[in-house]
Structure 1
Amino acid sequence: MTRGMPIPETVTVHVPFRVVKRGGRKEMHLPDGAAQSRRTDSTLVKALARAFRWKSMLETGEFDTITDLAEREGIAPSYMTRVLRLTLLAPEIIEAIMDGKQGPKVTLAWVLEPFPIVWEEQRAQFY
């Protein structure tokens, strides 16, 4: 269009994307190479915060056992141990989650599954 041309009444814009389910909600994914803004996954961030808070409570002796802490928090000890494992994630993986730069497969359910303790092996699964 140029300045001398009349403005059309209808303008059609084509934006290629696909809708992907992620963590119980739907996200829009742009094609490879397209700039895509990221949002932090609040569920993952909250789980990380809880994990580090619980770890601190256990390390300072505020609670003697995971069972005692789980009882106070009103959750199952088995769930608490799975969340506590998040404190063993490689620092750059934690940073990526906090910045919303984790890959689409990285959901709370995915990180609560058993993962390697060795950070290099974690990176291989994560990226």
Structure 2
Amino acid sequence: MPEGATQPRRTDNTLVKALARAFRWKRMLESGEFASISELAEREGIAFTYMARLMRLSLLAPEIVDAIMEGRQPEIVTLANMMDPFPLDWKEQRIRFLQPGTSDI
């Protein structure tokens, strides 16, 4: 891209929806509405393993969550990639999910 040009936003609606679900489920568990992920998964009609993997999204660094919500996430940040285990340390997440030369997050 030419110097000074801004990258167009590319909101990944699937990833945004997954983040919203993860944080919603986290709130439901933290509030005591459900005693376990198993109980919540059964109520939502979702496989426990899928829910547990999706809920990991609630552990992302705030800068990465903001970037996803604003459509500024690097191409490597897709729902498929985020379903794999990732580091819990926010610094390590930034290193892993930022593409070389990207300083947008």
How would you bin the TM-score normalised by the shorter chain? 0.7 to 0.9
Cα displacement (A) at 1:93: 0.4
- In structure 1, what is the Cα distance between the partners aligned to 2:54 and 2:97? 17
Structure having the larger proportion of residues in helix: 2
Cα displacement (A) at 1:32: 7.0
How many residues are paired up? 97
Question: Superposition RMSD on alpha carbons, in Å?
Answer: 1.3
Q: 1:96 aligns with which of 63, 67, 78?
A: 67
Q: Which residue of 2 aligns with 1:75?
A: 46
- In structure 2, what is the Cα distance between the partners aligned to 1:42 and 1:98? 9
Structural mapping, 1:28-39, within 5 Å: 31=1, 35-39=6-10
After TM superposition, the score normalised by the length of structure 1 is 0.72
Which is bigger in relative contact order (C-alpha 8 A, separation at least 6)?
A: 2
Q: In structure 1, give the amino acid aligned to 2:89.
A: V
Q: Where in structure 1 are there 5+ consecutive unaligned residues?
A: 1-30
Cα displacement (A) at 1:121: 0.4
> Which contiguous aligned blocks of 4+ residues in structure 1 show a shift greater than 6 angstroms?
none
Q: In structure 1, give the amino acid aligned to 2:39.
A: D
The percentage of counterpart residues that share the same residue type is 64
After TM superposition, the score normalised by the length of structure 2 is 0.87
